[in-house]
Structure 1
């Protein structure tokens, strides 16, 4: 593997966690090049670093991997190292499966991939040694040809956007906004904000805004005029309105909450967050309201399936919570708002998904942070970033700013995009 590198000089070597770490260790021992260790996530004890070892910005680092298919693991490690000031131009791998990793890394990360063996090398060796037949060789090559990296915006093969269908219609509408705007941005207001502030910021972000979520009770000057203006703006610019009320009551009370009181939710919002604590009553009340001739509404329910708090940081891992939440809608014959009928789960990866941290600096008045309110930043990061977010949220919340992975907002939209070192 070392001889494959040829001329380039490296100051450091790092293996893609975790399978390639032993390989990187061997290379470091053989070449006397210092090794640094990249972690998938920082631990909450010890040094609490994602990069362990002795290094400094500006050093050249070689990335080591055992097997690559599309090159996503090498790309992620490269991004991490570069974000911390290291220079990465080369990567070495034991087996290149010849499904587009070399081209992907060169085109999208400017990284040259050096392979000890290719998939064809392995096939020819097995064929020449009589271990497999010519038919198996052709079958394997045909499979590889079918599953090639085929999009500069995706790290996996994906179906056409036109092949995706949602049910009910609200999911289809949301996806249409995402597709048209090439964005996954949801702006949420989790701290008090005046009506004019909300409308002004929504107008500035409208070109990339797919959804706006707010707590009506946190708008001090909430009024029918405000919701009329917000509804008109959402219709004109094309984004959904989500009322984050997290309702949890019997059907009769829910109906009054939807059509009466100060907020009159059914008159202006597209989606309403609800808890599953009361069973099917709330959804049944909403269904009756939608079917009522006296009250026309397009309001749909968004069941809260996971929320992390200070007292219950891993509540979303409890199957006793997750399963009943999903089952509530199933028992009424509902289909999930964001369920994809196409079998390709990677379709959303066709949306651009850079990973900056977004600061809504200067767009809203800075407020003093409140300590001990129980809200955890992980609520915005979906199970420790194990899965790419479907739609992301840039949030102004009690004096601090957060953003989910995948935000596509840019400085020209009035947002400063920074990356943490």
Structure 2
């Protein structure tokens, strides 16, 4: 019997690899000789670097870079097992975890550190870079990232702009002459489900700015600055990114990547499915187990378990797809109605406080896997 175990992380408790390992232990207690393929997964958000690095037997790289508030931070990215691909979560260098209510300021926050990670990955010889765009502290349209890879953003006096979205209104011209030559020979893939444009009522500043400390006045100023930034990009580079779907992701980093690296945007789960070789590993599967901390009706909108289930039903349509979760959320029947997830089970072994449940998640996942395996064994005997 072949089991494919392809969970996301259980946020705050287990990485995707740890969850897969714990589930496998439970299965082995019943099916000692089963073929088990563990494929750590993610959907392009937090945990994508760890999941893809684990799934491909890659390695993690840690570097000191410029954080969103122009201080040095330690940021980690992944080099995948193929030796040609890097995966970077922009939040590692430019994330909201580096700010608080007292320090948050989207007028000055920069993505410069994300650009430094891009250059470091290229220094390692990669040919493609996958970028996850969740959890940003920034609203600079990717200007800092652009400066880090060699783009000159100049004012009327030919001076480089300072960091942050508050400076973009001063942009007079863009000079690409010092951009690292290797950028154009590197493929960039944005892992993001965000479809917001750069500006407007659904843009980066209006929708995400308040989460990063922007007042109404700041939102208006930042949106106007990003509009000006987009106009200069269109004039100097002949690239219209202002209303492009996803250009507003991560405070407009999506726009900067589209403009300055030629990046393409794909759904995060689709990228992870491809780079983990999930489909080939699903061949001849008898049971597929996925999951994450919580599943509800929203899971069908691009979350990891749904992406795994779609792949499973395509490659191994007769294999049941089972979801393991810490919590079953609202309107779960809508997920069953899709026809791709066959059953969902919650892992807590008893009613307990959240902190205790999270602390027990490893042993509870193992116990749940063992119980499901015992049920399968008993049914096989009938």
| Same fold (TM > 0.5) | no
Higher RCO (CA-CA < 8 Å; seq separation 6+): 2
Give the structure with the higher percent helix: 2
